[in-house]
Structure formats: structure tokens, C-alpha cells
Amino acid sequence: MTFICSFLDSVWPDQDYQLNPLSGDASFRRYFRVFHQQRPYVLMDAPPTLEDGARFIAVQQALAAAGLRVPAIVANDLANGLILLEDLGDCLLLSVLDDNSVMHWYQQALALLKPIRQVSATTQGALPVFDRAFLLREMQLFIDWFCLVHLKLELSSDELTVLERCFALLADEALAQPQAGMHRDFHARNLMVLPDNQLAVIDFQDMVLGPVSYDAVSLLKDCYLRWPDAVVATLRDEFFATLQASGELGPDWDNKRFARSFNWMGLQRHIKVCGIFARLYHRDNKAGYLPDLPRVLAYVTDTAALYPEFAEFSLLLQQKIQPRFDEVSRCAP
């Protein structure tokens, strides 16, 4: 804590501040709420050997320039991984959502994606590309951490081939979409409701160039809550109409094709998240994501069952992965 206090002393030489820890996230970052002269701030402690503070600042600047509400940067000490931020409060979008308000809030959230899509570079250069290797690397986490480590499954060469064929199809579909600026973790825990009822965007440092539907999928098929299919379909269709009207989708994209591509993008993301949540538990000792795994796996099984292209994967889920998951979950902490 000495280096944190030294940093804050340099910002406020009067040393009249209070430091309180906040709950963390799925990264290696720590957060503190700091009060100075009764005004709150948020201090992000992002170890420079594990996190890229300069990238956070570059993306923040690009999003702010695009007109998005993001936390302002007050001061930083990148050598020690410290960034002092504007405090946007405690009201996550997740906390205000219900059946009556979801359409209003999600329409407002989806509107934020247009300026995000228009960001293709920062002061550091072009955004990283969410390319085929990136997509496949993410889905490999499903095998490495979810199946092999969490479920302790032994997968035959034929079963691995089924998974690899599924992953290849999903990567092909993702790359067939128009590519644009992508937040990469756009959901109700990473959107803040401000006092004026506008939405602010946080946790944006992993931004890339990727499939145009990805962030909408992340929001509408949220890993932390699930809405009725009819609600998701209505909002998806509205999003499609927005993309079509802005010319971001070519003439060969109709509603039916977009719906399929949207669902396949969700399948790719949820396959990845199964692996991420398992890794957070087994490698990082973070059990807080285990209660969300049943929902994420249900997204995977439900979507795979809809498409004949994933018939073998669906069978593997039904006959081997889901039963083993149910067994492991009964013994989980």
C-alpha cells in the first residue's frame, strides 16, 4: 500500500483522503474508492506486469472523443499501474433492470454501440483484430479449462474433432460479418446508470476490431441474466434495422441471415465464457462466477440444438458434458 499512498500524496499533498477497497472483477485489477474533501474518486490498481494501463488510457480517450460517457482520468502513475478515475457511482444497469424497464434501458444501451463501432484506433495505433486465431484461442478454453479441468472429462479424438469442427464453423461465421470497433464485454455489469439516467461505459480496455453483432450479443444474451427469447428477438431485430439503415450491413444481409449469425456469435461467446469462468475458479481462486455457469452452459446447449450444423456437438453436450456438469455442480462449493 506504500506506493498507493505515495501516489495519492503526490495528487493531494494535504494527505486529506480516505481509501476504501471496492469489490474486484475477473481481472488482476484492484479498485478503491478514495474520498478527498468529501468528493469520491475511484483508484484502479492494475499491476503493470499483468495489465496495460497505457492501453486503458488510450481507449478511454478514444471513446470519450467519440462522445461516449466514460470515467474521466484524474491522474496516473503508470510505472506502478495506478490510475485515479472519476467516480461514476454504484448504480450498475443490472441493478435497475426488470421486465417493465428492459426494453427502455437496452434500447438506450444498443444506441451506444454506434459510436463504439466507429472507433477503430487509439493513440497507440489500430485496435487489435479479433481474428481467427483469437476466436479459436478463446474457444479452446472450453476444452482446456471447462471440460478437462472443471469437469475432469476425458475426451476422445472423435469428440475433440467434433468440438474443433464446431469452433471452425463459428469462427468462419464471425469473420463473415462486417468488422467494427468492439467493446468485447458489453453487458449490464459494465454499464453505469448516472444521476441523469444516461448510461456510462466501463471496463473497455480490451477493445478490438471484431464482428459487428458481438457487443449486442453480449448485452442481449448476458451471462449474468437471461431474458425471454421474444424480448431478445425484438431487440435483435431493432438492432439489425439500425445496422441496415446506417449501411453497415451489405445488401446480402437479411433479417434471417443476421439472426443466425447473431445466435452463432452468442454460441462462440458462451463457449468461451464457460472456459473463462472455470479458469477463474481453478486458477485464480474466484468462485463467484460458478453460480452463473449453469446459465451460460444453457445458452450453449439451447443454441447448439437449433442448428443441424451443430448436431454432433449438441449430442455431445446432451450425452456427456451436461450430465457431468450436473454431477460436478452438486459437489461445488
Residue 126's alpha-carbon distances to 85, 129, 169, 333, in angstroms, are 25, 9, 27, 43
Helix (H) or strand (E) holding 258: helix 255-282
Mean of all residue pLDDT scores within the chain: 95
Record the cell numbers describing residue 202, joined without a space. 466501463
* pLDDT bucket at 14, cuts 50 / 70 / 90: confident
Angle between helices 322-331 and 293-304 (to 10 degrees): 170
* pLDDT bucket at 303, cuts 50 / 70 / 90: very high
Domains defined along the chain, listed by start: 2-86 (3.30.200.20), 93-331 (3.90.1200.10)
pLDDT of amino acid 332: 67
Query: HSE (CB half, 13 Å, CA atoms) of 278?
Result: 27
Average pLDDT value for residue range 291-313:
98
DSSP for 143-183, please give it.
IIIIIIIIS-PPPPHHHHHHHHHHHHHHHHHHHHS-EEEE-
DSSP state letter for 94: G
* pLDDT bucket at 330, cuts 50 / 70 / 90: confident
Q: Is the pTM of this model over 0.75?
A: yes
The answer on pLDDT for 1 being more than 90 is no
Q: Yes or no: say if 276 and 26 are a contact pair by the CB < 8 Å rule.
A: yes
Q: What confidence tens digit (pLDDT) does each residue in 232-277 have?
A: 999 999 999 999 999 999 999 999 999 999 999 999 999 999 999 9
Residue 234's alpha-carbon distances to 130, 220, 227, 258, in angstroms, are 27, 10, 11, 13
